[in-house]
Structure 1
């Protein structure tokens, strides 16, 4: 199975093809008082800045951590106001009690939580929070579209090899348990946002190319499916959000 370096190898496609996070998510973070002018944010696995930009536009300051050299370079160009560190969530030093909010957007499944959770507990100030979300590409509750039928056919031809272990992208309860492990943080808000986006053939190619569990040939086949269906397809997605509050210092 490809690792996180897959994204850096396809940094250009990643920046072009990944759709934005839904408006409802940003509204909720504001309503919860987590994202506003002056909030000090550390973002782990920031990629090309898909979440960084909206966080900055909300008036927050951002320290972004991104392990990929190409993605970090794109992030610096896209979000020059952010302080960008090239490194992993596990290895990059973070100052103590320096942040009000830690963010992991479509990244937490790559982390070693036994290392990252205590590290964030030290880096987030008392009363601070950790917000975790991801775009899950495909809504199992939505009616199956012709494009999704074609996607399912591509996946069905695989040899059964597990591409990525651990909790699934929509196993929200399991993620709540994992993120609360060790007593460093406790969940205070859990919500799923359902939304849709129309994608052109070239956007489908870029997006599926960035998926770490899809081969280049499979991504091209998904693009051909979009082309066969008129060059534009409507995709239904889910974005689970888990907000956790930093717990008092552990003994």
Structure 2
């Protein structure tokens, strides 16, 4: 990839007590790409995302997002940057006491408190439709939705402020294969239509093959490799080989017509 990265991480260190999670993570994400982030359990995929968006203060390192330094920003400065991205957390992370439409309106109300209810309702309805939900989902509460619908409602909220950058944390986890494939197709369609840059944490091999332009591998407390799936499969790191050339990896490669080593 060429050009100036939209996300740049250099020398990132994160730890919890004596447990070191990241020890010098470097990563670039470029405008207009869907970058998949993979790694074994405990490698700090979500911690990396939380560091980038400012929910986790790293021990050391430099992070820039959309050309802005994310370390030691004032709350007002950070708020202005956060307005330019959307986040879908695992399981949607919806407010249980608010309807779907009200959940979508939360970030809009935060940044545009002067908007009148009719316009708020119209924007929420539009975002709900963009996420692939039926109009009657708006008045429903999260407890009335299936797991896939909750993820789409969370996506609608992530899109509320017309972001340039979208963070997705395990968006297809817990979905059946048909629902997961539909969600992948939705993300890919939205990325193209809205010119989004997508930072996507996943363990879903089908998602990686279907929509990701590049994949970053977290292991050994660092990003050990970034590239296309064929580029990664050519590397001899044991975790990468086990992940992409194990039984599930080989099955996903065959289904997506990728070459597999004999």
State TM-score, norm by structure 2. Answer: 0.29
State TM-score, norm by structure 1. Answer: 0.30
